[in-house]
């Protein structure tokens, strides 16, 4: 199959989706390619923080200034995907007391709204915080629903004529006479290939930007900085809480949805498609969480995951990753590598995606010889399908109690009903339960899909007329994604929960023996399915049985 367009965008994270929308709004014919679902890479694997800039204000003021400027804009243009939690920077007994004054002055210098509040007021707002905190400052942090944001951008882009192809992996960049003229992508679901001819290609592939650039004969070094996080089963704070110290491991607690996320580490990895979560990272996160919330370890760790930050700096070899700038880099490969019609945008933060997209499309206009002003900072985006999917704590429960949510309750943890699932399936072209998780939060609660996944698979089977093998594959693939995150936090009550889930899926359903569409070396079994590039190690039944004893 062949397609043609003016601009091809590679990468369906928030930056690529932002570039697509900006291009479409300026009148360009454009297509986006993403190898998985939207926000499957770094954008979907972070702690969900809308930065005020406070985190970088002392060591990277330029990046901090970008964050606060874009923070204010995003609150206006995408309010349905943002929760205004507010932020706190607190000095615990383990933090350097002299840093607080330095932090406060740096915020004033950069323009970040900051106010020191009393410890009594801080504890009134967040009573579970460490009572030995000595200083507390407020900043305009927030939390974001990244999947809602990316879907918002692509749907609004579609209203201007843009096209988004998910589950399409780029396998080749087409180059003729030192000019990029398009790309070849493979459908990762059915194996079909599509060739897309383009006047210009934008790589917004994040940590994978070096691989995409190499296909075009260009040299881009992106340092993949792994950050590990843990989701706890309880929203123990309603405000983003940061330690008041230079950026460090485990120094931030973010409330998002019904959970709180502690993060992160910063470890350089060679391959963004292959890395493991280490035991020391889990222990460190739990220990550091206890310094912010003394009862932290009494709560239940639901899952751990990691994302890879795309860090670009020309001369950063040998540097500590936390010293590499969080500013973004826009590379025109004509002067950079002698290859025309090819642009790479990398680095930056989720919070600065719109600014990154604006600069990128400005360069596209320049290279294509046209002037078209950017309007994204003044355009309020419509929610996906005209309605907000992102929900705040208790909203669904209130609707359920009032009888406003009809039908069978399928996911008790996150309160998802059968009609919600069936409605979502109408708009979903893929037989992938993970897409429902991102849209509806199915399987994200304390049981991690133990009681709802087989029900969802049955609904998908009926509504999409799937074969038994197709349904089994969807079920196995989803459970494997849950296993990955739970493996490293299996202790106490969570281990008992997983033994129950194991009994349901292995003992009752015989999941490891179900026939599915894979065969031979690719046969999907619990503990043996491919990791899709997130972790190197998978659990198996024997390993869990030993751990439980």
Question: Higher confidence at residue 539 or residue 508?
Answer: 508
Cβ contact 540:528 at 8 Å: yes
Averaged pLDDT of the chain: 88
Tokens (6 digits) for 163 = 């096209």
pLDDT of residue 532: 33
Position 438 confidence tier, pLDDT thresholds 50, 70, 90: confident
Residue 70 and residue 178 in contact, taking contact as beta carbons nearer than 8 Å = no
Q: Is the model's pLDDT at 16 over the cut of 70?
A: yes
391-400, 408-417, 468-477: range with lowest mean pLDDT: 391-400
Phi, psi at 368, each rounded to 5°: -95, 5
Asked if residues 421 and 459 have their Cβ atoms less than 8 Å apart, the reply is: yes
H helices of 379-467, in order, are 395-401, 418-426, 433-440, 453-463
Helices (H) and strands (E) in the chain, counts: 16, 22
Residues in the chain: 549
Domains of the chain: 82-143+223-311 (3.30.9.10), 394-548 (no CATH)
Q: In the prediction, which pLDDT does 529 show?
A: 30
Q: Measured at the alpha carbon of residue 223, what is the angle toward residues 221 and 226, in degrees to the nearest 5?
A: 155
How confident is the model at residue 160, as a pLDDT? 97
Query: At a CB cut-off of 8 Å and minimum separation 6, what does 114 contact?
Result: 54, 104, 107, 108, 137, 138, 139
DSSP class of residue 340 equals B
Handedness of CA 426, 431, 437, 438 (dihedral sign): negative
Q: Three-state SS for 464?
A: coil
Whether 434 shows a pLDDT value over 80: the answer reads yes
**Six token digits for residue 251:** 């120094």
Q: Which of 281-285, 385-389, 487-491 has the lowest mean pLDDT?
A: 385-389
Region 182-194: mean pLDDT is: 95
pLDDT value at 518 more than 70: no
Question: Has residue 403 got a pLDDT over 90?
Answer: no
pLDDT for residue 321: 52
Taking the C-alpha atoms of residue 86 and residue 185, their distance in angstroms, rounded to an integer, is 42
Q: What percent of the chain has pLDDT over 70?
A: 89
pLDDT 10s digits, 285-341 = 999 999 999 999 999 999 999 999 888 866 544 555 545 555 799 999 999 899 999
- Kindly report which listed range (113-117, 118-122, 141-145, 312-316) carries the lowest average pLDDT score: 312-316
Q: Per residue in 527-539, pLDDT tens?
A: 333 333 222 223 3
Residue 390: pLDDT band (50, 70, 90) is low
Q: pTM of this prediction?
A: 0.87
Count of alpha carbons within 13 Å of 419, Cβ hemisphere only? 6
| pLDDT category of residue 243 using cuts at 50, 70 and 90 | very high
Q: What pLDDT, on the 0 to 100 scale, is given for residue 480?
A: 86
Q: What is the mean pLDDT of residues 417-422?
A: 92
Could you tell me if residue 349 is left (phi over 0), alpha (psi between -120 and 50 degrees) or otherwise beta? Answer: beta
Alpha carbon 391 to its chain centroid, in Å, reads 17
Q: Looking at 71-80, 223-232, 351-360, 386-395, which range is the least confident one?
A: 386-395
| pLDDT interval class at 396 (50, 70, 90) | confident
Contact call for residues 250 and 244 (beta carbons, < 8 A) = no
Indicate the pLDDT class of residue 178, thresholds 50, 70 and 90.
very high
Return the minimum-mean-pLDDT range out of 253-262, 331-340, 463-472, 517-526. Answer: 517-526
Task: Give me the pLDDT at residue 540, please.
Answer: 36
The mean per-residue pLDDT over the stretch 92-110 comes to 97
Question: Does residue 81 register a pLDDT over 70?
Answer: yes
């Amino acid at each position: 199959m062949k397609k043609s367009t003016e601009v091809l965008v590679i990468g369906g994270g928030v930056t690529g989706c932002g570039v697509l929308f900006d291009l479409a709004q300026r009148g360009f014919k454009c297509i986006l390619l993403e190898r998985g679902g939207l926000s499957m890479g770094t954008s979907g694997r972070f702690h969900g923080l809308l930065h005020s800039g406070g985190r970088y204000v002392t060591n990277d003021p330029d990046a901090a200034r970008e964050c606060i400027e874009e923070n204010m804009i995003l609150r206006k243009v995408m309010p349905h995907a943002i929760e205004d939690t507010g932020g706190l920077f607190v000095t615990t007994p383990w933090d350097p007391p002299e840093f607080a004054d330095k932090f406060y002055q740096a915020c004033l210098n950069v323009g970040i709204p900051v106010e020191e509040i009393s410890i009594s007021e801080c504890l009134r707002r967040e009573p579970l915080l460490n009572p030995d905190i000595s200083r507390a400052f407020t900043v305009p942090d927030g939390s974001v629903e990244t999947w809602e944001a990316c879907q918002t951008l692509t749907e609004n882009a579609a209203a201007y004529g843009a096209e988004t192809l998910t589950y399409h992996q780029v396998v080749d960049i087409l180059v003729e006479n030192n000019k990029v003229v398009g790309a070849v992508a493979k459908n990762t679901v059915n194996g079909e290939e599509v060739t897309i001819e383009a006047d210009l290609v934008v790589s917004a592939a994040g940590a994978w930007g070096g691989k995409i650039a190499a296909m075009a004969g260009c040299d881009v070094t992106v340092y993949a900085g792994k950050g590990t996080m843990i989701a706890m089963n309880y929203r123990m704070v309603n405000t983003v809480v940061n330690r008041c110290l230079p950026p460090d491991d485990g120094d931030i607690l973010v409330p998002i949805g019904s959970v709180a996320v502690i993060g992160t580490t910063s470890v350089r990895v060679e391959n963004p498609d292959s890395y493991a979560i280490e035991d020391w990272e889990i222990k460190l996160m739990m220990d550091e969480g206890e310094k912010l919330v003394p009862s932290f370890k009494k709560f239940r760790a639901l899952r751990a995951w990691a994302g890879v930050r795309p860090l670009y700096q020309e001369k950063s070899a040998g540097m500590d990753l936390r010293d590499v700038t969080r500013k973004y880099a826009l590379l025109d490969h004509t002067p950079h590598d002698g290859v025309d019609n090819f642009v790479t945008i990398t680095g930056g933060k989720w919070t600065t995606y719109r600014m990154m997209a604006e600069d990128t499309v400005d360069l596209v206009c320049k290279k294509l010889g046209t002037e078209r002003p950017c309007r994204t900072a003044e355009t309020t985006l419509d929610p996906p399908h005209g309605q907000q999917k992102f929900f705040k704590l208790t909203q669904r429960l209130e609707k359920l109690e009032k009888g406003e949510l009809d039908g069978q309750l399928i996911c008790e943890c996150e309160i998802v009903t059968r009609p919600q699932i069936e409605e979502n399936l109408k708009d979903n072209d893929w037989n992938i339960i993970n897409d429902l998780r991102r849209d509806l939060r199915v399987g994200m609660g304390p049981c991690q899909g133990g009681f709802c996944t087989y029900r969802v698979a049955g609904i998908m089977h009926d509504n999409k007329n799937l074969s038994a093998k197709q349904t089994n594959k969807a079920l196995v693939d989803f459970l494997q994604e849950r296993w990955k995150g739970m493996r490293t936090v299996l202790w106490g009550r969570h281990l008992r929960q997983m033994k129950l889930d194991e009994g349901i899926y292995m003992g009752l359903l015989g999941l490891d023996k179900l026939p599915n569409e894979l065969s031979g070396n690719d046969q999907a079994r619990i503990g043996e399915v491919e990791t899709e590039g997130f972790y190197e190690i998978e659990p198996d039944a024997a390993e869990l049985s030993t751990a439980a004893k």
